[in-house]
Amino acid sequence: MPDPYSQITTVAPGILDVLIKAMELRAADPRSQAIRKVFLSLVDLPDAARVLEIGCGSGAITRELAHLPKVAEVVGLDPSPVFLAKARQLAAGIANLYFDEGDARSLPYADNEFDLAVFHTCLTHVPGPEKAVAEAFRVLRQGGHLAILDGDYSTTSVAVGDHDPLQACAEAAIAGLVNDRWLSRRLPGMVRSSGFHLQRLDSYGYLQADSPDYMLTLVDRGADILVNSSRIDSALADGLKKEARRRAESGEFFGFIAFTGLVARKPPL
Protein backbone atom coordinates (compact mmCIF):
# COMPACT_ATOMS: atom_id res chain seq x y z
CA MET A 1 0.00 0.00 0.00
CA PRO A 2 1.56 3.34 -1.03
CA ASP A 3 1.97 6.22 1.41
CA PRO A 4 -1.31 8.19 1.18
CA TYR A 5 0.47 11.45 1.96
CA SER A 6 2.62 11.04 -1.16
CA GLN A 7 -0.52 11.07 -3.33
CA ILE A 8 -2.71 13.10 -1.02
CA THR A 9 -4.81 14.81 -3.71
CA THR A 10 -6.26 11.44 -4.77
CA VAL A 11 -7.03 10.07 -1.29
CA ALA A 12 -10.67 9.35 -0.35
CA PRO A 13 -12.37 11.86 2.01
CA GLY A 14 -12.82 9.26 4.75
CA ILE A 15 -9.08 8.54 4.86
CA LEU A 16 -8.32 12.27 4.88
CA ASP A 17 -10.50 12.65 7.98
CA VAL A 18 -8.51 9.90 9.72
CA LEU A 19 -5.22 11.56 8.78
CA ILE A 20 -6.38 14.98 10.01
CA LYS A 21 -7.45 13.48 13.34
CA ALA A 22 -4.07 11.74 13.74
CA MET A 23 -2.10 14.91 12.88
CA GLU A 24 -4.02 17.04 15.36
CA LEU A 25 -3.85 14.33 18.03
CA ARG A 26 -0.08 13.98 17.81
CA ALA A 27 0.48 17.75 17.68
CA ALA A 28 -1.57 18.23 20.85
CA ASP A 29 0.28 15.54 22.80
CA PRO A 30 2.39 17.12 25.58
CA ARG A 31 5.42 15.05 24.58
CA SER A 32 5.23 16.33 21.00
CA GLN A 33 4.83 19.88 22.26
CA ALA A 34 7.89 19.52 24.49
CA ILE A 35 9.99 18.22 21.58
CA ARG A 36 8.93 21.12 19.34
CA LYS A 37 9.57 23.69 22.06
CA VAL A 38 13.17 22.54 22.44
CA PHE A 39 13.69 22.09 18.70
CA LEU A 40 12.31 25.47 17.63
CA SER A 41 14.28 27.26 20.35
CA LEU A 42 17.44 26.30 18.41
CA VAL A 43 16.47 28.53 15.47
CA ASP A 44 17.75 32.11 15.66
CA LEU A 45 15.10 34.27 13.98
CA PRO A 46 15.45 37.93 13.00
CA ASP A 47 12.86 40.47 14.07
CA ALA A 48 9.68 40.46 11.96
CA ALA A 49 10.55 37.07 10.48
CA ARG A 50 8.59 35.59 7.61
CA VAL A 51 8.14 31.83 8.04
CA LEU A 52 7.06 29.09 5.62
CA GLU A 53 5.85 25.66 6.72
CA ILE A 54 6.04 23.25 3.80
CA GLY A 55 3.56 20.38 3.98
CA CYS A 56 1.44 21.95 6.70
CA GLY A 57 -1.44 19.47 6.63
CA SER A 58 -4.23 20.64 8.93
CA GLY A 59 -2.06 23.51 10.17
CA ALA A 60 -1.38 22.37 13.73
CA ILE A 61 2.30 23.37 13.59
CA THR A 62 1.64 26.43 11.43
CA ARG A 63 -0.64 27.80 14.16
CA GLU A 64 2.15 27.25 16.68
CA LEU A 65 4.72 28.99 14.51
CA ALA A 66 2.46 32.04 14.20
CA HIS A 67 2.77 32.65 17.95
CA LEU A 68 6.56 32.46 18.17
CA PRO A 69 8.41 35.61 19.27
CA LYS A 70 9.83 37.69 16.40
CA VAL A 71 7.49 36.10 13.83
CA ALA A 72 5.57 38.62 11.73
CA GLU A 73 3.96 36.28 9.20
CA VAL A 74 3.58 32.55 8.63
CA VAL A 75 2.54 30.82 5.42
CA GLY A 76 1.45 27.18 5.41
CA LEU A 77 1.67 25.30 2.12
CA ASP A 78 0.08 21.95 1.27
CA PRO A 79 -1.07 20.16 -1.90
CA SER A 80 -4.37 18.98 -0.36
CA PRO A 81 -7.40 21.30 -0.66
CA VAL A 82 -9.11 19.27 2.06
CA PHE A 83 -6.23 19.70 4.49
CA LEU A 84 -6.09 23.42 3.69
CA ALA A 85 -9.82 23.91 4.25
CA LYS A 86 -9.44 22.35 7.70
CA ALA A 87 -6.29 24.39 8.37
CA ARG A 88 -8.08 27.65 7.55
CA GLN A 89 -11.01 26.65 9.75
CA LEU A 90 -8.81 25.83 12.74
CA ALA A 91 -6.69 28.98 12.26
CA ALA A 92 -9.62 31.39 12.08
CA GLY A 93 -8.76 34.57 13.96
CA ILE A 94 -4.96 34.26 13.68
CA ALA A 95 -4.22 37.43 11.73
CA ASN A 96 -0.62 36.72 10.68
CA LEU A 97 -1.29 33.24 9.27
CA TYR A 98 -2.03 32.37 5.62
CA PHE A 99 -2.34 29.16 3.63
CA ASP A 100 -1.47 28.35 0.01
CA GLU A 101 -1.94 25.28 -2.15
CA GLY A 102 1.19 23.92 -3.78
CA ASP A 103 3.85 21.22 -4.13
CA ALA A 104 6.95 21.15 -1.92
CA ARG A 105 9.06 20.29 -4.98
CA SER A 106 7.94 23.38 -6.92
CA LEU A 107 7.21 26.16 -4.46
CA PRO A 108 4.99 28.99 -5.75
CA TYR A 109 7.24 31.71 -4.33
CA ALA A 110 10.02 33.95 -5.59
CA ASP A 111 13.65 33.60 -4.52
CA ASN A 112 14.73 34.96 -1.12
CA GLU A 113 11.25 35.46 0.40
CA PHE A 114 11.45 33.76 3.81
CA ASP A 115 13.62 33.80 6.92
CA LEU A 116 12.71 30.27 8.02
CA ALA A 117 11.47 27.20 6.14
CA VAL A 118 10.04 24.35 8.22
CA PHE A 119 9.41 20.72 7.29
CA HIS A 120 7.56 19.07 10.18
CA THR A 121 7.02 15.32 9.64
CA CYS A 122 6.71 16.06 5.93
CA LEU A 123 9.83 15.04 4.01
CA THR A 124 9.48 11.31 4.78
CA HIS A 125 6.25 11.44 2.74
CA VAL A 126 7.67 13.31 -0.28
CA PRO A 127 8.90 11.35 -3.32
CA GLY A 128 12.01 13.19 -4.45
CA PRO A 129 12.70 15.01 -1.16
CA GLU A 130 15.94 16.44 -2.57
CA LYS A 131 13.85 18.70 -4.82
CA ALA A 132 11.88 19.97 -1.81
CA VAL A 133 15.06 20.79 0.12
CA ALA A 134 16.53 22.56 -2.92
CA GLU A 135 13.33 24.60 -3.27
CA ALA A 136 13.51 25.56 0.41
CA PHE A 137 17.06 26.80 -0.20
CA ARG A 138 15.85 28.90 -3.15
CA VAL A 139 13.03 30.69 -1.32
CA LEU A 140 15.08 31.42 1.81
CA ARG A 141 16.86 34.73 2.21
CA GLN A 142 20.64 34.78 2.60
CA GLY A 143 21.29 33.76 6.20
CA GLY A 144 17.84 32.19 6.49
CA HIS A 145 17.27 28.93 8.34
CA LEU A 146 15.93 25.50 7.47
CA ALA A 147 14.34 23.47 10.28
CA ILE A 148 13.42 19.81 9.73
CA LEU A 149 11.79 17.61 12.35
CA ASP A 150 10.89 14.14 11.10
CA GLY A 151 10.49 10.62 12.31
CA ASP A 152 13.27 8.08 12.16
CA TYR A 153 10.46 5.64 11.50
CA SER A 154 12.70 2.59 11.38
CA THR A 155 12.72 2.89 15.19
CA THR A 156 8.93 2.66 15.59
CA SER A 157 8.00 0.08 18.21
CA VAL A 158 5.02 -1.01 20.28
CA ALA A 159 6.58 -4.35 21.21
CA VAL A 160 7.05 -5.39 24.82
CA GLY A 161 8.87 -8.62 23.97
CA ASP A 162 10.09 -10.88 21.19
CA HIS A 163 7.57 -11.73 18.45
CA ASP A 164 4.98 -9.31 19.83
CA PRO A 165 1.99 -9.42 17.43
CA LEU A 166 1.29 -5.72 17.93
CA GLN A 167 4.66 -4.93 16.37
CA ALA A 168 3.34 -6.33 13.08
CA CYS A 169 0.66 -3.62 13.19
CA ALA A 170 3.22 -0.88 13.81
CA GLU A 171 5.44 -2.10 10.97
CA ALA A 172 2.50 -2.37 8.58
CA ALA A 173 1.44 1.18 9.50
CA ILE A 174 4.88 2.61 8.78
CA ALA A 175 5.20 0.64 5.54
CA GLY A 176 1.80 1.93 4.42
CA LEU A 177 1.98 5.49 5.71
CA VAL A 178 5.61 6.57 5.18
CA ASN A 179 7.26 6.91 1.78
CA ASP A 180 10.81 6.48 3.15
CA ARG A 181 11.31 5.36 6.74
CA TRP A 182 15.10 5.86 6.48
CA LEU A 183 15.07 9.43 5.18
CA SER A 184 16.08 11.17 8.41
CA ARG A 185 19.40 9.33 8.37
CA ARG A 186 20.27 10.88 5.01
CA LEU A 187 19.20 14.42 5.86
CA PRO A 188 22.66 15.83 6.70
CA GLY A 189 24.05 14.90 3.30
CA MET A 190 20.90 16.07 1.55
CA VAL A 191 20.89 19.57 3.05
CA ARG A 192 24.62 20.02 2.46
CA SER A 193 24.19 19.02 -1.18
CA SER A 194 21.58 21.76 -1.55
CA GLY A 195 24.03 24.40 -0.30
CA PHE A 196 23.05 24.66 3.37
CA HIS A 197 25.47 24.81 6.27
CA LEU A 198 24.44 22.23 8.86
CA GLN A 199 24.21 23.74 12.36
CA ARG A 200 22.45 21.14 14.54
CA LEU A 201 21.49 17.48 14.33
CA ASP A 202 19.64 16.04 17.32
CA SER A 203 17.50 13.07 18.26
CA TYR A 204 14.29 13.25 20.31
CA GLY A 205 12.49 10.27 21.79
CA TYR A 206 8.70 10.27 21.43
CA LEU A 207 7.26 7.85 23.99
CA GLN A 208 3.63 7.12 24.81
CA ALA A 209 2.69 4.78 27.62
CA ASP A 210 0.06 6.10 30.05
CA SER A 211 -2.15 7.86 27.47
CA PRO A 212 -1.09 6.40 24.11
CA ASP A 213 -3.79 8.00 21.97
CA TYR A 214 -1.60 8.62 18.92
CA MET A 215 0.29 5.31 19.04
CA LEU A 216 -3.05 3.49 19.28
CA THR A 217 -4.01 5.06 15.96
CA LEU A 218 -0.85 3.50 14.46
CA VAL A 219 -1.87 0.08 15.75
CA ASP A 220 -5.38 0.55 14.36
CA ARG A 221 -4.22 1.76 10.96
CA GLY A 222 -1.61 -0.98 10.75
CA ALA A 223 -4.19 -3.63 11.57
CA ASP A 224 -6.48 -2.24 8.87
CA ILE A 225 -3.63 -2.26 6.35
CA LEU A 226 -2.95 -5.93 7.16
CA VAL A 227 -6.62 -6.72 6.54
CA ASN A 228 -6.74 -4.75 3.29
CA SER A 229 -3.63 -6.54 2.03
CA SER A 230 -5.24 -9.94 2.90
CA ARG A 231 -2.54 -10.82 5.43
CA ILE A 232 -4.98 -11.22 8.33
CA ASP A 233 -8.77 -11.28 8.63
CA SER A 234 -10.95 -8.66 10.32
CA ALA A 235 -11.51 -10.82 13.41
CA LEU A 236 -7.76 -10.96 14.12
CA ALA A 237 -7.45 -7.22 13.44
CA ASP A 238 -10.19 -6.53 15.99
CA GLY A 239 -8.39 -8.75 18.47
CA LEU A 240 -5.11 -6.88 17.99
CA LYS A 241 -6.83 -3.52 18.49
CA LYS A 242 -8.49 -4.82 21.66
CA GLU A 243 -5.16 -6.11 22.97
CA ALA A 244 -3.57 -2.70 22.43
CA ARG A 245 -6.35 -1.07 24.44
CA ARG A 246 -6.14 -3.70 27.15
CA ARG A 247 -2.46 -2.87 27.56
CA ALA A 248 -3.24 0.85 27.63
CA GLU A 249 -5.92 0.41 30.31
CA SER A 250 -3.71 -1.86 32.44
CA GLY A 251 -0.61 0.33 32.14
CA GLU A 252 1.29 -2.19 29.99
CA PHE A 253 1.37 -0.27 26.71
CA PHE A 254 4.64 1.03 25.28
CA GLY A 255 4.95 3.01 22.06
CA PHE A 256 8.10 4.71 20.81
CA ILE A 257 9.40 6.64 17.78
CA ALA A 258 12.72 8.51 17.57
CA PHE A 259 12.56 11.88 15.82
CA THR A 260 15.46 13.63 14.11
CA GLY A 261 15.77 17.41 14.38
CA LEU A 262 17.97 19.29 11.94
CA VAL A 263 18.75 23.00 11.75
CA ALA A 264 20.72 24.40 8.81
CA ARG A 265 21.46 27.84 7.42
CA LYS A 266 21.62 29.32 3.95
CA PRO A 267 25.02 31.05 3.85
CA PRO A 268 24.85 34.84 4.26
CA LEU A 269 26.27 37.10 1.58
Residue 2: per-residue pLDDT: 64
In a domain, 242, yes or no: no
Convert the pLDDT of each residue in 176-199 to its tens digit.
999 999 999 999 999 999 999 999
Res 5: pLDDT: 78
pTM higher than 0.85: yes
Whether 194 is in a domain gets the answer yes
17 in a structural domain: yes
Domain of 78, in residue numbers = 4-152+180-205+259-265
Reported as a single tens digit per residue, the pLDDT across 223-235 is 999 999 999 999 9
Assess if residue 138 is contained within a domain: yes
Domain contains 238: no
CATH number of domain containing 73: 3.40.50.150
Is residue 135 a part of any domain in this protein? yes
- How far is CA 97 from each of CA 36, 91, 100, 155, rounded to the nearest angstrom? 19, 8, 10, 34
Has residue 210 been placed in a domain? no
Q: Domain tally for the chain?
A: 1
Asked if the model's pLDDT at residue 15 lies above 90, the reply is: no
254 within domain boundaries:
no
Banded pLDDT at 259 (limits 50, 70, 90): very high
